[in-house]
Amino acid sequence: MYKWLSVLSMVVAVQAAAEPVIIPAGEYKPAVLLDETVEVVVMPAFKLDAAPVTYAQYLDFVLENSKWRRDNIAAIFHDGNYLKSWSVNDQVPAGYESKPVTEVSWFAARAYCDAQGGRLPTLDEWEYASNYYLQQHGLSDKAYAQMLFARHSNPTAYSKQEVDTTIGQLDYMHNRVNEWVEDYQLLLTNGDNNDLLAGSCGDSARFMADFGDASYATFFRYQSRSNYRPQSTTSTLGFRCAYDLEK
Amino acid sequence: MKTFIKSAVASALLVSFAGLPVIAEANVPLKHDSEYVIDGKIYGMPKAKIYRDDYNGPAVVGDYVTMVPHLAKLDYKGNKEHEVRMDVFSQKVEVAPGVSYNAWTFGGSVPGPVLHVREGDRVVFKMKNRSTEEVVITKPFKGASPYFDQIAANQLQKHQPVVAPMPHSMDFHSGTVAANDKWATIAPGETIEFEWIANYAGTYMYHCGTSSVLMHTAMGQYGAVVVSPKEGYPTDKEVDQEYVIVQSEMYLEQMGEDYIYDHSAALARDPSHVVFNGHVSALSENPLKSNAGDRVRIHFLNAGPSGTSSFHVIGAIFDKVWAEGDPRNTWYGMQTVLLGASSSATVEFIVPEEGVYKLVDHEFADAERGAAGALYAGPRKK
Amino acid sequence: MKNLMLALSVVLFSSGVAIAQDHSQHNHHDHMNHTTFKAEPVNKEHSIYHLDGEWQAHTGESLTLANFQGQPIVISMIYGSCTTACPVLVNDARRIFEALPDAYKGEVKLVMVSFDQDRDTPAALAEYAAKYNLGDDVWTFLHGDDNNIRALATLLGVRYRKRADGDFDHSNLVTVLDVHGRVVERVEGLNRPVEEAVNALVKIIDENHLLHR
């Protein structure tokens, strides 16, 4: 039974094994100013998964890396709710194969990407890719902000939708799950006092490039994620992996 | 040293009680080594604790915790230590007929529960971030809090559990503490525990202070704490009815069949709804009750997040108004009370005769968007 | 000669303190210096030795953190080209060590982990250790890759960020780990009192009967 299931999951994974997308080099202007001085960030090219990692893909990882199985994971790497909705240690919930995997901690997400020869994208890489995606799709700031606020308003409705990992172009940046990034903590380098306030209780204007809806939507993604612990797992937080270009 | 401080408190209490009819029992209120007393008020609370526990009991705990417009009676003398819990989680609530949204809440309602304490009381507060859970508040919990019975009796908001994982925090304006410690943001699954002393009498806002604070409050994370004065208000014996009203703005836009938060409207202070007690019909479906000749007291909080309120009772004049609910701030004979965001007033008026008294935000753009309700007055009883 | 070295290092370290303090008052106007991040709270219940990444010591030896199991360690994160806070952190670890009762000194290791994958090679760290006259029997300087550095920093609650100029903004934190690799004491800031860290180390050594093995 289990053997048959894992064969099935491998079939799914083979289907899903589309190449990561190349995000070309360029410049981007962060919506959130972590530094007083840096306004335009120069980004080298890198590769990024086209879609968030799915349950089927994550199951393969768990089957091959037993220390990341639900019953084996070290307590220091999660908050007690790792893969909570899996009723069995080596089987994803029925019908979840093509949904973005959630209930994974930052440590687990990193381990997954490491096993694929990749890594979690940095915050800059993820946001730069997001801008690239918005340009590719011609999405206006307003449409982008509305999409993101809609997800913030009802994240579960989005996180439970499937993704197609075979389409070969960057997708699902804003309408599935919030995603882990390598340096997810909000690191404000423009001074000790700023760092202490860390964008709490109305203290956000100083970190905003402008006060448009789009910037707020982006800020909100940064800020809400930065309050998670690296052990945090939730049903609406997933990830995708980044890869260096071959040198 | 600690003995000295305690005796200093005792003498401060004696002085403040001199000549007043209701004498509270003089508890020794200091509890932690870190605490100290200035002007009879206690400061220096111990550090907040943040931890994980598997708590899945009632989301609201406290004998003096109610749903708006109710206020629990303080049936004890002197000061007391309150164990209070208000878990934070998401809940679908209706704010106008056919308009529901996934609110972020304390305790499951918008506004959140009302906490009633006495000046000088200590609150030991716990809050678990249960935004990853479906939390049901519409079934009764034995011995949890009067709040649940009142929710069960009033289903106007049509509460339904929703999962919306999000970091949150709690900021009690009634507490005097270091905000970076006590009002710290906690991740889903975490519990924060801290203490505060109700050092000042008045009606205070509480809210989530996690950024974007505009979004967190507009999503529904606010409520009222009523701190009754140690020696009471001078009219305590004559008051027949005592209610709590919380005014707030909603910034919602329709998206498909759902309503979602509209950030540009929130920034532009252009609310879709302005409501008393969380629903355009809260005080018309369930009007406040009184009788002709009653002295009615309302603790009115304008929670904002960004608008002002000009509270007025059509057909009545406020006999007394205590700005922010502090009995030292007395105004007389006011038609309207202007309140900024997170400001409150405790108002009293005589109900002149049998009839219906409209309660409005006299900024009529707000009244037209929902900030209206009613007080029914039956025949005179005396 | 040894006294001279000590005196020199005192001068060096105290000037480091002065620079760091000066920086904290003027960092809005001085982007050459790094910014101090407040450390994150951490899990103290579980061992950080679950991290199984490979590190290279300044001696050239390869190891995992679990190699330090069985004795308490004082651990901090620095980078070699840092001239402000980092020498103070190294000195803070040394101050903790020197305040230990002599009999206990043999039971404690001082571990300095570099943020800087590119510049702090094992050889560069060996040079650093030699320059500061830090003996191999007590001190271990670790070089790792970015992946392992980030994971360790996160478990220690050290926040850091690489700047465009190649330097690092980071938390200033010295941590005491018990024999199992659990966090028992954290000293945040520079040039802080060492008593609590020393007491924690003595307690660990006593409770595990390390002196009478």
Domains and CATH numbers, chain C: 2-212 (3.40.30.10)
Closest to B299 (Cα-Cα) out of B201, B154, B231: B201
Over its length of 382 residues, how does chain B's per-residue pLDDT go in tens digits?
A: 343 344 444 444 444 444 444 444 445 579 999 999 999 999 999 999 999 999 999 999 999 999 999 999 999 999 999 999 999 999 999 999 999 999 999 999 999 999 999 999 999 999 999 999 999 998 878 777 899 999 999 999 999 999 999 999 999 999 999 998 999 999 999 999 999 999 999 999 999 999 889 999 999 999 999 999 999 999 999 999 999 999 999 999 999 888 999 999 999 999 999 999 999 999 999 999 999 999 999 999 999 999 999 999 999 999 999 999 999 999 999 999 999 999 999 999 999 999 999 999 999 999 999 999 999 999 998 6
Closest residue to C159, CB basis, from A182, A187, A196: A187
**C33-71 pLDDT, tens digit each:** 567 888 888 888 899 999 999 999 999 999 999 999 999
Asked if pLDDT for residue A12 goes beyond 80, the answer is no
**Structure tokens given for C22:** 């000066």
CB B324 within 8 A of CB B345: yes
Percentage of residues in chain C with pLDDT exceeding 70?
84
CATH architecture of A2-243: Alpha-Beta Complex (3.90)
Pull the structure tokens for residue B24. Answer: 């509270």
Please indicate if the annotation marks C212 as binding a ligand. Answer: no
- Residue C82 marked as a ligand binder: yes
Note whether A57 contacts B: Cβ–Cβ < 8 A: no
pLDDT at B299: 98
Chain A residues touching B169 at Cβ < 8 A: 200
Residue A3: per-residue pLDDT: 41
A96: pLDDT strictly greater than 70: yes
Contacts of A127 (CB under 8 A, 6+ apart): A28, A30, A31, A218
Q: Distance, in angstroms, between A247 CA and closest chain C CA?
A: 16
- Chain C contacts of A230, Cβ < 8 Å? 154-155
Separation in Å, CA of A128 to nearest CA in chain C: 17
Name residue, tokens 């190699």. Answer: C67
> Does B200 lie in the same domain as B81?
yes
* B77 vs B64: CA distance, rounded Å: 14
Residues 68-87 of A with CB under 8 A from B: 79-81
Cβ contact, residue pair C164, A191, below 8 Å: no
Enumerate helices (H) and strands (E) in chain B, giving the number of each: 7, 28
* Spatial distance between the Cα atoms of A203 and A218, rounded to a whole number of angstroms: 15
Question: Of the candidates B375, B180, B135, B179, which has an alpha carbon nearest to the alpha carbon of residue B277?
Answer: B375
Residue A147 at interface with chain B, using a CB cutoff of 8 Å: no
Do residues B181 and B65 both lie within one domain? Answer: yes
- Tell me which residue of B130, B89, B125 sits closest to B106, measured CA to CA: B89
- Domain interval for residue B72: 48-228
Rounded-to-integer distance, Cα A163 and Cα A54, Å: 8
Q: Residue B297 forms beta bridges with which residues?
A: B242, B348
Our CA-based measurement puts residue B360 at a distance from the nearest CA of chain A, in whole angstroms, of 29
A112: helix, strand or coil: helix
Query: pTM for this one?
Result: 0.88
Q: What are phi and psi of A4, to 5 degrees?
A: -60, -40
Secondary structure element (H or E) that encloses residue C201, with its range: helix C195-207
Residues 11-40 of C with CB under 8 A from A: 24, 27-28, 31, 35-38, 40
Q: How many domains does chain B have?
A: 3
How far lies B252's CA from each of A131, B258, C38, in Å?
27, 10, 37
Nearest to B145 by CA among B63, B83, B244, B58: B63
Instruction: From B206, B228, B250, give the residue that closes a domain.
Output: B228
To the nearest whole Å, the CA of A83 is away from the closest chain C CA by: 19
Question: With a CB-CB cutoff of 8 Å, which residues 222-241 of chain A face chain C?
Answer: 230-231
Q: How high is the pLDDT of residue A189?
A: 55
Same-domain pairing of B73 and B218: yes
| Same-domain check for residues B71 and B161 | yes
Residues within 8 A of A (CB atoms), C 81-100 only: none
Q: What is the pLDDT of residues A21-44, one digit of tens each?
A: 999 999 999 888 877 667 789 999
User: Hey, is the C-beta of A185 within 8 angstroms of any chain B C-beta?
Assistant: no
Q: Does C131 touch chain A (CB under 8 A)?
A: no
For residue C56, what are the β-bridge partners? C62, C143
Mean pLDDT, rounded, for C7-36: 41
Query: Does C50 belong to an annotated binding site?
Result: no
- Which stretch of DSSP H or E encloses residue B118? strand B114-118
Q: In sequence order, which residues have a C-beta less than 8 Å from that of residue B98 and are 6 or more positions away?
A: none
Gyration radius of chain B over CA positions: 20
Residues B68, B216, single domain; the answer is yes
Q: Which of C33, C185, C48, C163 is CA-nearest to residue C108?
A: C185
Q: Please check whether residue B182 is in contact with residue B48, taking contact to mean a CB–CB distance below 8 angstroms.
A: yes
What's the pLDDT tens digit per position in A45-75? 999 999 999 999 999 999 999 999 999 999 9
Q: Give the closest residue to B39 by CA, choosing from B9, B4, B78, B1.
A: B9
Residue at B157: amino acid letter: Q
Report yes or no: C164 at the A interface, CB cutoff 8 Å.
Answer: yes
Question: Confidence class of residue A246 from pLDDT cuts 50, 70 and 90?
Answer: confident
Give percent above pLDDT 90 in chain A: 65
Task: Give DSSP secondary structure letters for B277-304.
Answer: TTBTTHHHHS-EEEETT-EEEEEEEEEE
- A190, C28: Cβ pair inside 8 Å? yes
What would the pLDDT profile of C116-165 be if each residue is shown by its tens digit? 999 999 999 999 999 888 888 899 999 999 999 999 999 999 999 888 88
**What pLDDT shows up at residue C33?**
56
Spatial neighbors of A33 by CB under 8 A, at least 6 apart, are A39, A190, A206, A207, A208, A209
The CATH number covering residue B152 comes to 2.60.40.420
Comparing A141 with B12, the larger pLDDT belongs to A141
Give A 9-38 residues with CB within 8 A of chain C.
36-38
Cα dist from B328 to B164, B198, B298, B323, C23, whole Å? 43, 16, 17, 8, 47
pLDDT tier, A199 (very low <50, low <70, confident <90, very high otherwise): low
CA distance B203 to B174: 8
> C181 with C210: CB under 8 angstroms?
no
Dihedral sign, Cα of residue B49, residue B50, residue B56, residue B59: positive
